[in-house]
A = this chain, B = another copy of it.
Amino acid sequence: MEFRLAERMGSIKASEIRELLKLTEQPDIISFAGGLPAPELFPVEEFKIISSEVIEKEGREALQYTTTEGFKPLRKIIAEQRMKASGVNVSEDNIFITSGSQQGLDFSGRIFLDKNDVVICESPSYLGALNAFKAYMPKFIEIPMDNDGMIIEDLELALKNNPNVKFIYTIPDFQNPSGKTLSLERRKRMVELSEKYNVPIIEDNPYGELRFEGERLPSVKSFDRAGSVIYLGTFSKTFCPGLRLGWVCAENNILSKYILVKQGADLQSSTISQRETALFMERYNLDEHIEKIKSVYRKRRDLMIKMMEKEFPDNCTFTYPQGGLFTWVTLEEGQNAAEILEIALKDKVAFVPGGSFFPNGGHPNHFRLNYSSSSEEQIIEGIKRLGKVLKSI
């Protein structure tokens, strides 16, 4: 049958990254393309104890339906641990459990966006968010960044000139893909502008807890006085992505809309995974676990940066991320990272070309490198191969 699809299906394209991941699954390719956490750091032994205890003691409840907003003890511990550590004082009533923060992104699009509404985002921005929003057919205004993140004067100009901006989308810490961090001063200013122009902020914060050096910055949400910031959190980078658990933290007048949308979307997130994660956080110290992750990722970042300094040609620049999973490489104007990838794949090394991180196109002379999921040997060898490719063009 020839199907007649909804108009929005014309806007949704396959994620270049996920398609690429398939290509790079060949075992002899060293891939810096993914965004995967290092599986050797998953707390498998602890999870084994936890999951057998959950099934033993509360098996029937854990396998049954639960409420749409999520398992209350998990919501409580998220409020008391994760949100408090990011400078936000809320109770479980402000927390709603999602299937990863990707679902929080999709729901944000669904709640706010009519066709041709405007989303303001960083330039570049997270591809998965752009794709989620595109299902609702908005226009994007990209705000340039410097080393302190989104340039606030440009943000204000965009808000002033566009009355149909529905939200500002920001990844304040170690942004995907750029690795850049929004400064403390700009976080405050962004919230002020949000209130002044009556435009909410979607704060996507998967990496804030993965700071390798310096002091953790309070989240954008921590400066929120008018209830204009909607915070998206996740356990995918600090615990286990395979469980698909994240959360939304917001005021009740808007959080209730997220819950309503989830009823139609998938009723609820996994009961058993929510109970397991809650018990893990009660029993063990997630912060200690995060320290382990950080010490491994820090070493890998240091090594990747050192290797890039040594192996890359002088016409490449790259960001120095103080945390998170990615660094962002800028080639000379006129160079094309997608074309370079084809050569690199022949030399058995992979990355993500940067073009698709710009919702309005252009900017072919960038690419993203992930250091969290490669071993030290892979980083050394992979960056050597990549340096050779870059020098050859």
> Interface on A for B, CB 8 Å cutoff?
1-9, 12-15, 18, 36-37, 39-40, 42, 44, 47-48, 51-52, 55-56, 59-68, 98-100, 102-103, 105-106, 110-114, 117, 128, 131-132, 134-136, 166, 194-195, 198, 200, 226-228, 236, 240-244, 251, 253-254, 257, 260-261, 263-273
A99 to B65, CA, bound (A): 13
Give which listed residue, B55, B200, B265, B269, contacts A51 with CB less than 8 A: B55
Cβ–Cβ contact B5 & A111, under 8 A: yes
Neighbouring B residues of A62 by C-beta, 8 Å: 242
Cβ–Cβ contact A48 & B52, under 8 A: yes
A257 to B131, CA, bound (A): 14
A111 to B4, CA, bound (A): 9
Cβ–Cβ contact A135 & B110, under 8 A: yes
Neighbouring B residues of A40 by C-beta, 8 Å: 60
Cβ–Cβ contact A1 & B68, under 8 A: no
Q: How many copies does the complex hold?
A: 2
Cβ–Cβ contact B242 & A63, under 8 A: yes
Neighbouring B residues of A266 by C-beta, 8 Å: 98-100, 102-103, 106, 244, 266
Excluding A12-B261, A128-B267, 14 further A-B contacts by CB distance (< 8 Å) are: A1-B195, A1-B228, A3-B112, A3-B253, A6-B112, A14-B263, A36-B65, A48-B52, A102-B265, A106-B264, A134-B264, A242-B271, A244-B266, A272-B273
Cβ–Cβ contact B44 & A12, under 8 A: no
Neighbouring B residues of A52 by C-beta, 8 Å: 48, 51-52
Considering only CB atoms, which chain B residue lies closest to A98 in the complex? Answer: B266
Neighbouring B residues of A64 by C-beta, 8 Å: 36-37, 39, 42, 240-242
Considering only CB atoms, which chain B residue lies closest to A269 in the complex? Answer: B244
A325 to B269, CA, bound (A): 23
Cβ–Cβ contact A7 & B264, under 8 A: no
**6 pairs of A and B residues whose beta carbons are closest in the complex:** A242-B271, A44-B59, A63-B240, A39-B60, A132-B264, A1-B228
Cβ–Cβ contact B44 & A166, under 8 A: no
A341 to B146, CA, bound (A): 61
Determine which residue in A39, A251, A264 has the highest number of CB atoms from chain B within 10 A of its CB, and name it.
A264
Determine which residue in A63, A241, A242, A273 has the highest number of CB atoms from chain B within 10 A of its CB, and name it.
A242
Give which listed residue, B18, B42, B59, contacts A63 with CB less than 8 A: B42
A8 to B109, CA, bound (A): 11
Cβ–Cβ contact B267 & A100, under 8 A: yes
Cβ–Cβ contact A114 & B265, under 8 A: no
Neighbouring B residues of A14 by C-beta, 8 Å: 260, 263
A134 to chain B, nearest CB (A): 7
A1 to B198, CA, bound (A): 7
